[in-house]
């Protein structure tokens, strides 16, 4: 009997050029924005409301956890959703940065803010070519995909896909219409703030849709961790700066709903994963082919 070939590993270049640097960058942004949300004029690339700062900081904190877990993974199948979501966010944030470059602290001001602005711009300009090189290296890494656990039940996959579609649509609206929406935002915001929040919303939506397509929660547990942390940190931040939010406007409650959905879906994902994917030795494991493949039994 021929030996089973090893599954496709994560390319070292993908870790060195994409996953690792993105995890460090996201962690740095979280440490700047979330604890010191009221000091973005002195410490960050542009000045924003503390409410926007804690929300963006929460998203970066969740992403840092997801990418750190992905950087430690050995199998490509376990990180491809995180990689796809990270690449999408990278491009969206580059577009946000270029469109709102006049709001960045590029021309002066506090030294830390000036350095942060130029560092932010440099990182987002360098990220796409580095990411492309990392993806090429990964796609050239040989090896089959690992066997999957049983297909997710519809009552798990459907909410994930539905929530992903709604978040992606909401994020797309925020990205495409930031000027009009900023004028009616429930807290002080500029177009760059709205577009940045939209980029994160769109990335989370795309990640949820991709996770539902994977149909294997073991492969997206890092994404579930990102949703739990983002939801928890974001809701805590809204409580912290709730006095700055105009709660009579629907936008504030939409933010609460989105964060609650992320937190709930992440927690449910962990719970369902424990039920349908028990620890080794707890029962027989059922494998199924990759998406796009047709099971041999169906051809007979």
pLDDT for res 130:
94
Distance CA 138, CA 142 (A): 9
Mean pLDDT of the 211-234 span: 85
* Average predicted confidence (pLDDT) for the chain: 87
CB 49 within 8 A of CB 193: yes
First to last CA, the chain: 24
Residue 294 lies in a domain: no
Q: Do 196 and 33 form a contact (C-beta atoms < 8 A)?
A: no
Asked if the model's pLDDT at residue 297 lies above 70, the reply is no
pLDDT at 46 over 60: yes
Note down the domain range covering 175. 12-278
The total domain count for the chain is 1
What is the per-residue pLDDT for 43? Answer: 94
Report if residue 200 sits inside a domain. Answer: yes
The fraction of the chain above a pLDDT of 70, given in percent, is 87
Residues 6+ apart with CB under 8 A from 221: 69, 269, 270, 273
pLDDT band at 290 (very low <50, low <70, confident <90, very high): very low
In a domain, 153, yes or no: yes
pLDDT of 18 > 50? The answer is yes
**DSSP summary character for residue 192:** H
Burial 71-93 (b: 16+ CB within 10 A, else e): bebebbbbbbbbbebbbbbbbbb
Answer yes or no: is 18 within a domain.
yes
Q: Are 94 and 129 in contact (CB under 8 A)?
A: no
Q: Kindly state the tokens that stand for 253.
A: 């409650």
Q: Does 283 fall in a domain?
A: no
Q: Which of 37, 26, 34 is nearest to 57 (CA)?
A: 34
pLDDT single digits (tens) 93-103? 999 999 999 99
Q: What is the pLDDT of residues 235-258, one digit of tens each?
A: 999 999 999 999 999 999 999 999
- 8-36: average pLDDT: 95
User: In the structure encoding, which two tokens stand for residue 266, read together?
Assistant: 């992440």
H or E segment to which residue 254 belongs: helix 250-276
- The answer as to whether 104 is a domain residue is yes
Q: Which whole number is the average pLDDT over 173-201?
A: 96
Distance of CA 33 to the CA centre of its chain: 17
Q: What is the mean pLDDT of residues 187-208?
A: 96
Mean pLDDT along residues 157-165: 88
Residue 247 lies in a domain: yes
In a domain, 299, yes or no: no
């Amino acid at each position: 009997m021929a030996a089973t070939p090893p599954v496709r590993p994560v390319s070292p270049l993908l870790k060195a050029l994409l996953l690792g640097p993105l995890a460090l960058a996201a962690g740095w942004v979280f440490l700047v924005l979330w604890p010191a949300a009221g000091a973005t004029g002195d410490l960050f690339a542009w000045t924003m409301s503390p409410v926007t700062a804690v929300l963006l900081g929460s998203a970066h904190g969740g992403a840092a956890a997801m990418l750190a877990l992905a950087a430690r993974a050995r199998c490509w199948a376990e990180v491809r959703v995180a990689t796809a979501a990270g690449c999408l966010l990278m491009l969206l944030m580059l577009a946000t940065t270029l469109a709102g470059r006049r709001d960045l602290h590029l021309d002066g001001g506090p030294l830390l803010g000036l350095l942060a602005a130029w560092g932010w711009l440099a990182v987002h300009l360098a990220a796409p070519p580095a990411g492309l090189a990392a993806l090429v290296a990964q796609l050239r890494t040989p090896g089959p995909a690992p066997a999957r656990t049983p297909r997710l039940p519809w009552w798990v996959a459907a909410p994930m896909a539905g929530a992903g579609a709604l978040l992606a649509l909401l994020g797309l609206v925020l990205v495409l219409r930031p000027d009009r929406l900023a004028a009616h935002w429930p807290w002080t915001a500029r177009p760059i703030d709205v577009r940045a929040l939209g980029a994160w919303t769109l990335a989370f939506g795309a990640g949820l849709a991709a996770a539902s397509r994977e149909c294997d929660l073991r492969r997206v547990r890092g994404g579930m961790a990102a949703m739990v942390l983002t939801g928890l940190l974001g809701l805590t931040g809204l409580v912290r700066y709730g006095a700055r939010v105009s709660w009579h406007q629907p936008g504030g409650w939409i933010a609460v709903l989105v964060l609650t959905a992320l937190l709930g879906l992440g927690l449910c994902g962990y719970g369902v994963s424990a039920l349908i994917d028990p620890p080794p030795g707890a029962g027989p494991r059922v494998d199924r082919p990759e998406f796009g493949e047709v099971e041999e039994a169906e051809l007979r």
